[in-house]
C-alpha cells in the first residue's frame, strides 16, 4: 500500500514543474531510483525527500 | 449489433462502469514485463513490450507499453506459481502474526511471484460500493492481482490522488477514483494541445 502523502507530493511537484502525466510517472520512478542508488533525502530515516529536495530533483530530472 | 469503442478516445469524470470495463479489456493478453515500486512505495505493474523511458535520466530502465499503478490503494497479489499471498497485513505496520513473513518491496519485485511473460487472462473493474472502484486482474497461470481503494477522507488533499491508474500506449491515462468516478485523459503534453 503506497504512502498517500509521498505520492501526493510527487504529483504536486510534477504539476508545479509543468510535467505531463507520463513525465510525472517517470519522475516517481526517478526519485525512487535516486533513493536506491544511495542518494537519500533528509526528511526521515527512510531517506525520503523534503519539498525543497524534491524541487531540486525535479530540476535535475528535467535538465 | 456489433459496436466498437475508440481506445484513443477521451472520457472525463465518468460514472459508467461498463465503459471503464471496456477500456480495461486492452490489458487482456498483455504479458507482464516487470513489477516495480516507485517513490512512496507505490506498486506498479508493467505490461506489453519494453519501451524506453522518455527521460534520458531513466535510460537504464525499461518500461512497459502499459503501466498499472496502485497509487495509495490496498492491493494483494495471489501467486499461483509460488502458492503465496502477498499483501499489507490487515493491521497495517503493526507486528506480524507468526504466519506472515515480512517482505521488502525489492523482494516483491525480484520474487517472480507472477512470472514475467505471464499474460493477463481477464481484467475486471469492481464496483465495491457507491464510493470506490477496485480492479481485479487474473493471469493465465492462475495468479490474481486485486486493487482495493482505501477509504480515507481525513487527510488534507487526498482527493488529488487517484485510487489507481493505467497508462496506455495510445498516450492515454486512465485515472480511477477517488470516488466511483474515472477519466480517460491524454497522458502527454503534445496530446493535450491536439
B39 and A60 within 8 Å at the Cβ level: the answer is no
A11 closest CB neighbour out of B63, B88, B160: B160
pLDDT tens, residue by residue, B33-86:
999 999 999 999 999 999 999 999 998 888 999 999 999 999 999 999 999 999
Kindly indicate the confidence band of residue B159, based on its pLDDT and cuts at 50, 70 and 90.
low
Instruction: Give the start-to-end residue ranges of the domains of chain B.
Output: 11-153+163-191
Q: Is the pLDDT of residue B129 over 80?
A: no
Q: Is the pLDDT of residue A35 over 90?
A: yes
Helix (H) or strand (E) holding B67: strand B62-69
CB B72 within 8 A of CB B39: no
Location of C-alpha cell 514543474: A17
Specify the pTM: 0.93
| ipTM score | 0.94
For the segment B188-192, the average pLDDT, to the nearest whole number, is: 80
User: Which grid cell is B10?
Assistant: 477521451
- Which residues are paired to B66 by β-bridges? B47
A2 closest CB neighbour out of B42, B55, B157: B42
Residues of A in contact with B75 (CB under 8 A): 1
Amino acid at each position: 500500500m503506497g504512502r498517500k502523502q509521498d505520492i501526493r507530493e510527487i504529483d504536486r511537484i510534477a504539476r508545479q514543474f509543468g510535467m505531463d502525466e507520463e513525465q510525472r510517472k517517470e519522475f516517481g520512478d526517478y526519485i525512487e531510483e535516486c533513493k536506491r542508488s544511495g542518494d537519500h533525502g533528509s526528511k526521515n530515516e527512510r531517506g525520503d525527500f523534503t519539498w525543497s529536495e524534491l524541487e531540486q530533483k525535479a530540476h535535475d530530472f528535467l535538465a | 449489433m456489433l459496436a466498437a469503442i475508440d481506445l484513443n478516445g477521451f472520457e472525463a469524470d465518468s460514472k459508467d462502469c461498463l465503459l471503464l470495463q471496456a477500456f480495461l479489456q486492452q490489458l487482456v493478453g498483455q504479458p507482464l514485463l516487470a513489477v516495480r515500486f516507485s517513490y512512496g512505495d507505490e506498486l506498479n505493474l508493467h505490461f506489453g513490450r519494453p519501451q524506453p523511458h522518455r527521460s534520458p535520466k531513466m535510460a537504464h530502465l525499461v518500461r512497459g507499453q502499459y503501466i498499472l499503478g496502485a497509487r495509495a490503494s490496498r492491493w494483494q497479489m495471489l501467486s499461483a506459481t509460488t502458492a503465496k499471498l502477498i499483501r499489507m497485513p490487515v493491521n497495517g505496520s503493526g507486528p506480524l502474526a507468526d504466519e506472515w513473513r515480512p517482505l521488502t518491496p525489492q523482494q516483491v519485485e525480484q520474487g517472480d511471484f507472477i512470472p514475467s511473460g505471464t499474460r493477463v487472462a481477464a481484467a475486471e473493474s469492481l464496483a465495491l460500493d457507491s464510493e470506490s472502484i477496485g480492479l481485479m486482474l487474473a493471469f493465465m497461470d492462475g495468479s490474481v492481482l486485486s486493487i482495493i481503494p482505501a477509504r480515507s477522507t481525513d487527510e488534507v488533499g487526498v482527493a488529488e490522488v487517484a485510487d489507481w491508474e493505467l497508462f496506455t500506449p495510445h498516450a492515454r491515462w486512465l485515472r480511477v477514483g477517488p470516488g466511483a468516478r474515472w477519466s480517460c485523459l491524454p497522458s502527454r503534453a503534445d496530446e493535450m494541445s491536439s
